[in-house]
């Protein structure tokens, strides 16, 4: 057990309560944060290059067909995330969180970099589009283990009373990565024009993933193993104290034991990420293709709001530590249900101020969702099966309702001719979210299921141990 010592005082008898060392926690936050930045950097770049990449990989098709193909390529990434979530979740529960997180981050970074090296249709014909789809599938498979592995790790490493605050940095990193990728694309479009982007400048944002990935991998290599998984290995040690190199994990047994919380996760992800992906990945396309705004202008409308959302998420996590996860999640879902139609009316107007307000009305509940859910999901599962359970349930829902949200919304608008179809879709998903939150067990400030408490000081650990001994004596 890791303990934190103060000055020259001898360590207090804290039993099995884990005292989180500040230095290790800082490394854990940085190591998981950068992975989410890297993963969503690609999402931002690709989402903001949808209109640009169409002529590069499908030049002979109509503009609408190009957009649909690129959105479909984006969606195909998410269809392979459940397989990645299952494989890397199982592996994370088997050999540990740290090693798996290194694999997923490296693969995501390399695949993003390789997209920047792809030849276009002019060089190799339809093979270019096939290679693009294949690399996006590799990204999706690896990303299936990236976020859920990172969120599992940081929740196991953070103090119980501040788990919401530290876990919220993961989604903050996601949105900062998205903003970074989208901002680089927008800056290039402003500086060189759209034609220059089509002619080859589109490669630059993807190639930047190379050095960014090197920095991210370096920071991730410095993290320690999750204290909760480390404690699990210690429990399985033999009579001589030798820990096993890996643990046995039966996915079928995991599903049989955890299907109820896994179903709740699926519903929560459907509600939150349909809104999240609609705001981040579809809004630029919606503004430029459905509402006929200039592509750069559409980016400038939404990027500052995304940055504010990312900065707000740790404070949302802190709020959930104080008032509980459920009240914040209820507020997010009800906000979407009540204000989506007014929001899309404002977005569809001609006034720039109205468009910004409308986008804010869509984006702020996303910040409430994301700033809370990163600490909500892992608390539903035990340490021995947390990574597998979360990896599958989260990514199944992402595949069905998250990454496909831009494509589904675009198809609904084109099929109905109603620009409010997006609002109706998001409202329906958040109705599902309200139902799911009703079944969530409040976890703020409490130890993870089946784990000993994580605390910040030896004094706090000693107090918990003393209270336990007193309770035992009274019984």
Closest CA to 134 of 212, 210, 71, 77: 77
Residue 4's pLDDT is 44
Residue 402's pLDDT is 77
18-228+249-474 falls under which CATH superfamily? MFS general substrate transporter like domains (1.20.1250.20)
Residue 1's pLDDT is 39
Angstrom CA distances, 231 to 97, 226, 265, 386, 387, stand at 13, 9, 26, 14, 15
Residues 6 or more apart whose Cβ sits within 8 Å of residue 180: 37, 41, 44
- The ranges of the chain with pLDDT < 50 are 1-14
- Give the span between the Cα atoms of 273 and 300, in whole angstroms: 22
* Phi, psi of 380, rounded to the nearest 5 degrees: -90, -10
Residue 11's pLDDT is 44
* SS3 per residue for the chain: CCCCCCCCCCCCCCCCCEECCHHHHHHHHHHHHHHHHHHHHHHHHHHHCHHHHHHHHCCCCCHHHHHHHHHHHHHHHHHCHHHHHHHHHHHHHHHCHHHHHHHHHHHHHHHHHHHCCCCCHHHHCCHHHHHHHHHHHHHHHHHHHHHHHHHHHHHHHCCHHHHHHHHHHHHHHHHHHHHHHHHHHHHHHHHHCHHHHHHHHCHHHHHCHHHHHHHHHHHHHCCCCCHHHHHHHHHCCCCCCCCCCCCCCCHHHHHHHHHHHHHHHHHHHHHHHHHHHHHHHHHHHHHHHHCCCCHHHHHHHHHHHHHHHHHHHHHHHHHHHHHCHHHHHHHHHHHHHHHHHHHHHHHCCCCHHHHHHHHHHHHHHHHHHHHHHCCCCHHHCCCCCHHHHHHHHHHHHHHHHHCCHHHHHHHHHHHHCCCCHHHHHHHHHHHHHHHHHHCCCCCCCCCCCCCCCEECCHHHHHHHHHHHHHHHHHC
* Both tokens assigned to 46: 């690709």
Burial of 440 (0-12, 13-18, 19+ CB in 10 A): buried
């Amino acid at each position: 057990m890791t303990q934190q010592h103060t000055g020259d005082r001898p360590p207090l008898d804290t039993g099995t309560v884990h005292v989180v060392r500040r230095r290790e926690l800082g490394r854990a936050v940085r190591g998981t944060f950068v992975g989410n930045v890297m993963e969503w950097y690609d999402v931002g770049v690709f989402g903001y290059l949808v209109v640009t990449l169409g002529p590069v990989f499908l030049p002979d098709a109509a503009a609408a067909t190009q957009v649909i193909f690129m959105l479909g390529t984006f969606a195909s990434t998410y269809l392979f995330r459940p397989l990645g979530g299952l494989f890397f979740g199982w592996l994370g529960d088997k050999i540990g969180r740290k090693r798996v997180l290194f694999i997923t981050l490296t693969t995501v970074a390399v695949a993003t970099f390789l997209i920047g090296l792809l030849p276009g249709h002019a060089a190799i014909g339809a093979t270019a589009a096939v290679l693009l789809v294949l690399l996006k599938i590799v990204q999706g498979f690896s990303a299936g283990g990236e976020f859920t592995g990172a969120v599992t790790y940081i929740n196991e490493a953070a103090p119980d009373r501040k788990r919401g605050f530290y876990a919220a940095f993961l989604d903050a990193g996601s949105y900062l990565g998205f903003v970074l990728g989208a901002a680089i694309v927008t800056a290039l479009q402003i500086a060189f024009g759209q034609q220059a982007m089509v002619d080859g400048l589109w490669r630059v944002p993807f190639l930047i993933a190379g050095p960014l990935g090197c920095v991210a991998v370096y920071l991730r290599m410095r993290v320690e193993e999750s204290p909760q998984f480390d404690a699990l290995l210690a429990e399985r040690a033999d009579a001589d104290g030798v820990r096993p190199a890996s643990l046995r994990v039966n996915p079928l047994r995991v599903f049989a034991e955890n299907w109820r919380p896994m179903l709740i996760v699926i519903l929560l992800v459907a509600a939150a990420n349909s809104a999240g992906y609609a705001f981040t990945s579809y809004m630029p396309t919606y503004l430029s293709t459905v509402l006929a705004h200039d592509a750069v202008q559409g980016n400038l409308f939404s990027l500052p709001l995304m940055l504010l959302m990312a900065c707000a998420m740790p404070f949302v996590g802190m709020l959930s530590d104080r008032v509980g996860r459920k009240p914040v999640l209820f507020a997010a879902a009800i906000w979407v249900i009540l204000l989506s139609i007014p929001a899309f009316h404002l977005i569809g107007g001609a006034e720039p101020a109205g468009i910004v307000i409308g986008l804010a009305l869509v984006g702020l509940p996303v910040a409430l969702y994301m700033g809370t859910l990163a600490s909500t999901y892992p608390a539903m599962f035990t340490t021995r099966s947390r990574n597998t359970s979360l990896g599958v349930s989260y990514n199944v829902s992402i595949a069905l309702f998250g990454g496909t949200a831009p494509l589904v919304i675009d198809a609904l608008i084109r099929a109905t001719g109603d620009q409010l179809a997006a609002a109706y879709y998001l409202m329906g998903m958040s109705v599902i979210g309200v139902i799911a939150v009703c079944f969530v067990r409040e976890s703020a400030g409490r130890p993870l299921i089946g784990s000993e408490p994580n605390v910040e000081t030896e004094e706090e650990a000693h107090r918990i141990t003393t209270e336990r001994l007193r309770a035992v004596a009274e019984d």
